[in-house]
Amino acid sequence: MFKVIANTQLSPNVWRLDVMAPRIAQVRRAGQFVIVCRDENSERIPLTVADASPTEGWITLVIQAIGKSTRQLVELKPGEFIRDISGPLGRPTELAEAGAKAVCVGGGVGTGVVHPIAQALHAKGVNVVSVIGGRSKPWVFFEAELKRYGQVVVCTDDGSYGRKGFVTDAVKEQLEAGGVNVVYAVGPVPMMRAMANLTKPYGVHTVVSLNPIMVDGTGMCGGCRVTVGDQVKFACVDGPEFDGHQVDFDNLWDRLGMYKPEEKNALELFQHKCQCNQ
Amino acid sequence: MSITKPAVKDRMAIERCVMVEQDPLERAKNFNEVNKGLALETALRESQRCLECKKPSCMEGCPVSVNIPRFIGHVMEGDFAAAAESLALDNALPAVTGRVCPQETQCECHCIRGKKGKPVAIGYLERFVADWSRENLKKDMEKAPATGKSVAVVGAGPAGLTAAGELARKGYDVTVFEALQKAGGVLVYGIPEFRLPKKIVQAEVDRLTRAGVKIETDSIVGRTWTLDELRQKFNAVFISNGAGLPVFMNVPGESLKGVYSANEYLTRVNLMGAYKFPECDTPIIKGKRVCVVGGGNVAMDAVRTAKRLGAEEAIIIYRRGKAEMPARVEEVHHAEAEGIRFEMLTAPLEVVGDENNWVRGLKCQKMELGEPDASGRRRPVPVAGSEYVIDCDVIVVAIGTRANPLLTATCPEMKLNPKGNIIVDENGMTSIPGVFAGGDIVRGAATVILAMGDGKRAATAIDNYLKK
């Protein structure tokens, strides 16, 4: 059992959960994830470890509430428990060398995933510029956290906060200015695809973190298979981070939609139940 | 109850019992266990068929050398408690093996009664005794005095549970590290409820925990813990983490929606309860026509699961003939009775998708049997021009698994074979002193009973090693 110690809403659909998981807090590294299973009948959901304190024993999970399972997770109050958390899983981020310049791009919930990467890069002595975005001001989060590791550029689609426009525009400026050695981009599939397309002509190595549908997270089920270059890889053990210029984003996007009707059905039943209980 | 054993000639006259099963049409719609077990009178009568041979050949075929005539003899006397005790000495999980062992190629095929007629139903009797014992005896494990030494077991599948039980009995402090949220390994994620009810596995796990075995779920050795850490904390380690890496067909279209590995398909249904969706949160694509590629027990489990999930047609695609299928004979019979279609001598070439990248069919090719290959089975050879498409909306790939490299990749000093399986010596010890291994991570995908045999032998070897 894993005790929730804090639950903070970060944006209209993103929450931050701090959970006691001492062993994982001790050994996790940037880029790794855990599999969370809230209860006996819950799904196993992969979530990146966004932050951790090895001394205090907590880990941070940044969760976008979209379906039934994620909505149930973000409803957890401090003092309540998550039944199962296993990890850390996946390969740690391949960090750029000290003195290099890295641009860390976060879109939506991906900002939570990019946070530990920026943190680890900074600790290694890499010059970090973070570019984060949301549709408007309430959707932007982790600006202060990322500022600890370097410059932060905030973009909103409507210009209500930071600069108006997409993260791609801000990253393009960074690329044009030169000196960028690597880009780490995490966000919705269309954003990561756009980012990979943007950086390719500049020849800048671009790392993306993929979040396909998974069951066990240990390489056992193969449900998370993604096409990278001409090879089939398991995101859980070979990734979750891959060379963005090699990833078949169409296939990833497609497979992410495999359970759309079932997810909708489960969510509707869940919402109906919630209404009845009110 | 004490019963006099009948004379041998009277025993010869008794016909082999018939297992009572759920009606095939009924059971193809539910996940309840197919076999209902033997009634007490039936078990007694079946036990009387055993001739109690002086040199029992049935035992030769058993990977854990169960003393078969001894336990059956106790059944014959009506002393089921003694039968259970006798079984427990040789076999840590009799309720499991009585259900899932391929008796027809192990013990029953050696039975003298099989020479003229049908062999004694050893598997059914084993299951009877184990079930009777679970329901009627509340006896905990008898343990040797504590040795003061500790052993870590990696993986709570059949090999790990067996080793843990044996080691606890010998007085060791045992901790089992399990990657998933439940103990049982393939017994809970792989083998379906209709063949092995999960409450039976849970009862075995509970028996171990009552005996002081600690089970750490959500603990992945190679990630959460390193092998070196376990070596520092424990006096010995037994690795039994299985062959959990699915093999795919490597044909075009395998990334289309609706293609599953058998591991994923069965894990969703068995471990995660997807057959109860939306009561359980994990979904599964049910499919109207489901093709399962493969001919082993896993393929049978998957195809019968598909039928139970509501498939109008569930089809086995196998590149050899029915006689070459490695599945248990009983599973094939059960599948046939449930209306499973068998497309034999058929090999998959390509997964065909629709405009939305969902599976629409499986392009196959007919095969014919040629010369025997390395396995002794006749090699399937493609028939030119025989390509055709089987319409289907779900495909399950059940053509085997390989060694999962998660743990071994983190200890480069451990010797592996070219397939990634751990190499062990005659005592089951790896190239790292004090680290033993067994089950599928050593053998490649094999059976529950072989894994259990490894666990049992490793426990003895570990005991000898730690006594030195």
State pLDDT tens for residues A262-271: 888 888 888 8
Instruction: Report pLDDT for B374.
Output: 84
- Count of all residues that appear for chain A in the document: 278
Angle at the Cα of A45 (from A40 to A48), degrees rounded to 5? 135
Complex ipTM > 0.95: no
For residues B203 and B144, the answer to whether their CB atoms sit within 8 Å is no
Are residues B447 and B313 part of one domain?
no
Q: What DSSP string describes B319-345?
A: SS-GGG--S-HHHHHHHHHTT-EEE-S
CB-based contact A216 B357, cutoff 8 Å: no
CB contact set of A123 (below 8 Å; sequence gap of 6+):
none
Does pTM top 0.90 for this prediction? Answer: yes
Instruction: Report pLDDT for A278.
Output: 54
User: Per-residue pLDDT averaged across A63-87, rounded?
Assistant: 94
In a domain? residue B38: yes
Are residues B425 and B373 part of one domain?
no
Residue A235: φ, ψ to 5° = -60, -30
Are residues B387 and B252 part of one domain?
yes
CB contact set of B274 (below 8 Å; sequence gap of 6+):
B268, B280, B282, B283, B284
Taking 70 as the pLDDT cut, the residues of chain B under it are: 1
State pLDDT tens for residues B383-436: 999 999 999 999 999 999 998 889 998 899 999 999 999 999 999 999 999 999
* B228 DSSP 8-state letter: H
Is B38 strand, coil or helix?
coil
Are residues B384 and B431 part of one domain?
no
CB-based contact A218 B273, cutoff 8 Å: no
In a domain? residue B114: yes
Is A188 strand, coil or helix?
coil
Rounded alpha-carbon distances, angstroms, from residue A235 to A43, A45, A96, B221, B338: 18, 14, 21, 19, 37
Are residues B186 and B108 part of one domain?
no
CB-based contact B224 A225, cutoff 8 Å: no
Whether residue B405 has a cis bond before it, omega within 30° of 0:
no
- From the list A41, A218, A254, the residue facing B281 with the nearest CB is A41
What are residue A103's DSSP bridge partners?
A: A129, A183
Q: What DSSP string describes A226-237?
A: EEETTEEEEHHH
Are residues B295 and B159 part of one domain?
no
Whether A263 and chain B come into contact, CB under 8 Å, resolves to: yes
Q: In chain B, what residues touch A42 (CB-CB under 8 Å)?
A: 281
What are residue B352's DSSP bridge partners?
A: B361
CA B46 – CA B108 distance, rounded (Å): 13
Closest CA to B204 of B458, B460, B448: B448
CA B270 – CA B173 distance, rounded (Å): 31
CB contact set of B83 (below 8 Å; sequence gap of 6+):
B71, B72, B74, B75, B129
In a domain? residue B3: no
**CATH number, position B307:** 3.50.50.60
Q: Given B112, B136, B160, which residue is the final one in a domain?
A: B136
In a domain? residue B144: no
In a domain? residue B145: no
CB-based contact B281 A43, cutoff 8 Å: yes
CB crowding B286-323: b at 16 or more within 10 Å, else e: bbebbbbbbbbbbbbbbbbbbbbbebebbbbbbbbbee
Are residues B356 and B228 part of one domain?
no
- Say how many domains are in chain B: 3
CA B151 – CA A93 distance, rounded (Å): 34
Instruction: Output the six-digit token pair for B222.
Output: 């190679």
Burial status of residue A260 (CB atoms within 10 A of its CB: 0-12, 13-18, 19 or more): exposed
CA B434 – CA A207 distance, rounded (Å): 41
Closest A-chain CA to B179: A86
Are residues B393 and B260 part of one domain?
yes
Q: For the structural domain made of A101-256, what CATH number should be given?
A: 3.40.50.80
Is A169 strand, coil or helix?
helix
For residues A155 and A125, the answer to whether their CB atoms sit within 8 Å is no
pLDDT at A180 over 90: yes
Q: Given B399, B421, B450, which residue is the final one in a domain?
A: B399
**A146-150, A202-206, B129-133, B241-245: segment of lowest average pLDDT:** B241-245
Chosen from B181, B269, B276, B441 to mutate, greatest number of chain A CBs within 10 A = B181
Chosen from B250, B264, B408 to mutate, greatest number of chain A CBs within 10 A = B264
Residue B245 identity (one-letter amino acid): L
CA B196 – CA B300 distance, rounded (Å): 14
Instruction: Report pLDDT for A261.
Output: 85
- From the list B223, B254, B282, the residue facing A89 with the nearest CB is B223
Instruction: Output the six-digit token pair for B390.
Output: 């089987």
**CATH number, position B39:** 1.10.1060.10
Q: Given B107, B136, B165, which residue is the final one in a domain?
A: B136
In a domain? residue B143: no
A-proximal residues of B, 245-264, CB under 8 Å: 245-246, 248, 254-255, 257-258, 260-261, 263-264
Instruction: Report pLDDT for A67.
Output: 87
Closest CA to A149 of A95, A192, A110, A104: A104
Strands B289-293 vs B313-317: parallel, antiparallel or unpaired: parallel
Range of the domain at B434: 150-244+402-467
Closest CA to B222 of B361, B411, B44: B411
CB-based contact A215 B257, cutoff 8 Å: no
- From the list A24, A219, A269, the residue facing B278 with the nearest CB is A269
Are residues B221 and B165 part of one domain?
yes
Are residues B422 and B320 part of one domain?
no
Q: In chain B, what residues touch A69 (CB-CB under 8 Å)?
A: 281
In a domain? residue B373: yes
For residues B101 and B448, the answer to whether their CB atoms sit within 8 Å is yes
Is A106 strand, coil or helix?
strand
For residues B150 and B235, the answer to whether their CB atoms sit within 8 Å is yes
State pLDDT tens for residues B23-65: 999 999 999 999 999 999 999 999 999 999 988 999 998 988 8
* B465 DSSP 8-state letter: H
Are residues B395 and B286 part of one domain?
yes
Residue A193: φ, ψ to 5° = -65, -45
Instruction: Output the six-digit token pair for B407.
Output: 């743990």
* B272 DSSP 8-state letter: S
Beta strand extents in A44-121 (DSSP E only)? 45-53, 58-64, 81-82, 84-89, 101-107
Beta strand extents in B294-398 (DSSP E only)? 313-317, 341-343, 346-353, 359-372, 378-382, 388-391, 394-397
What are residue B50's DSSP bridge partners?
A: none
Are residues B368 and B302 part of one domain?
yes
Please state, rounded to an integer, the average pLDDT across all residues of chain A: 94
For residues B159 and B456, the answer to whether their CB atoms sit within 8 Å is no
B-proximal residues of A, 229-258, CB under 8 Å: 232, 237, 251, 254-255, 257-258
Residue B165: φ, ψ to 5° = -65, -45
Domain ranges in chain A are 2-89, 101-256
Q: How far is B306 from chain A (nearest CA, A)?
A: 17
Regarding the domain delimited by A2-89, which CATH topology (the fold level of the hierarchy) does it fall under?
Elongation Factor Tu (Ef-tu); domain 3 (2.40.30)
CA A27 – CA A87 distance, rounded (Å): 9
Order the strands of the B341-343 sheet from edge to edge. Answer: B259-261, B394-397, B289-293, B313-317, B341-343
CB-based contact B281 A255, cutoff 8 Å: no
Report CA Rg, chain B: 23
CB-based contact A221 B267, cutoff 8 Å: yes
CB-based contact B181 A262, cutoff 8 Å: no
